[in-house]
Structure 1
Amino acid sequence: MIYKGNYHASSKWIKKITKKFVKQSKGAKIWAGLQTYKSDWNLKKLSYKSLMKDAKNAKKGGAAGVVLFRFGLSELLNFKKL
């Protein structure tokens, strides 16, 4: 799981971290778990645009797929657009 908000990181950070895990996985399929809210201290949900940007960066980092956590705070995404 990638806690972007908890580390005050950008969406591009997700790509960097995903790449690191993919490289270390020795060929295992890596799925990125993305935070759907600002941070553990700010439970405001992320916008559709922000979630899609995060998901696209995870895919660019080599993730086989993306899962969302704290789903109740997110909007449904059309993952076919990734």
Structure 2
Amino acid sequence: MTVATVINHLLRRGWVNKVISIESELKQVSKKLELLRRELERVASSFELVHQDVVAISQSLDKLIIRYMELKKQEEYIKKK
């Protein structure tokens, strides 16, 4: 069987078109994956910055809550006297 015969056989069955279609879609999917990977890296970088800000705000809030509770205790102590 010659190469031409095999190609003609595949063409008649539509396999070559399917392979070309699959290859084309694979290229598109690969490009989309790369774009999404870059976007994920960008978002992850932004998230890290946001996460650090959230942690800092949370720590400040914790300190303020503790200070508020201390002041309330002092206030209650003074009122009881």
> Structure 2 length as normaliser, TM-score?
0.22
* Higher normalized helix content (fraction of residues): 2
Larger strand percent: 1
If asked which structure has higher relative contact order (CA below 8 Å, sep 6+), I would say 1
Q: Which structure would you say has the larger Rg?
A: 2
Normalised to the residue count of structure 1, the TM-score between the two structures is 0.22
